[in-house]
Amino acid sequence: MSDSAPGPKQRLFLALWPDDALRHRIAEVAAACRVSGGRPVPRANWHITLAFLGSLDGETRRCVEHMAAAVRVPAFDLGLDRVGFWPRPGGILWLGSSGPPEALGRLVAHLCDGISICGVERDRRHFHAHLTLMRRVERAVRVDLPTPLCWPVADFVLCESVTDPGGARYRVLARWALGQ
């Protein structure tokens, strides 16, 4: 048996991860949404995906971590000011920004370029900053936010997605500060 046998793979993604105070404010928005059908995303899983990485081995994960540590983008404020609904696929109710800051776009571009260097295929779809509130929604009623939520984004994270009988659980594995 070879010592170079590949280790277990992890299903990973890079994301913005809200703190507890922001999660509380997001929960208030979620409670105000009236929908038909739907399954709420657990509060502990709320995030904005910056780059989905898929199932990575340890070597590729280390490459991604090294690349992420080298990203130099200033911290920024992200205004969450709109609730939206995508009927397909899966009926998604989301919270997002009508005018994401330029720094967020630069962060996503740096990460996508970096993961490509690590051999991870980047998603070719246009990035849309959104936090999924509910899945399997049949119909959503428009919700106006009286005051936008301000998210002072100071870092980003590497998360692992683990699926068990209770559904997906996300675990933060690493964190990198912005603005350094």
* pLDDT tens sequence across 107-140: 999 999 999 999 998 877 788 999 999 988 888 7
Q: What is the pLDDT of residue 2?
A: 40
Distance CA 16, CA 157 (A): 6
Strand order in the sheet with 167-177: 48-56, 10-16, 155-164, 167-177
Polymer length of the chain: 180
User: What pLDDT digit, counting tens, does each position of 30-51 carry?
Assistant: 888 877 778 889 999 999 999 9
Please tell me the predicted confidence (pLDDT) of residue 113. 93
What pLDDT is attached to residue 86?
87
Q: State the helix-helix crossing angle for 102-117 and 58-69, rounded to 10 degrees.
A: 140
Closest CA to 146 of 48, 77, 47, 80: 80
pLDDT (tens digit, 9 = 90+) per residue, 59-83? 999 999 999 999 999 999 999 999 9
Contacts of 62 (CB under 8 A, 6+ apart): none
- The fold of the 10-177 domain, in CATH, is Cyclic Phosphodiesterase; Chain: A, (3.90.1140)
Rounded to two decimals, the pTM is 0.90
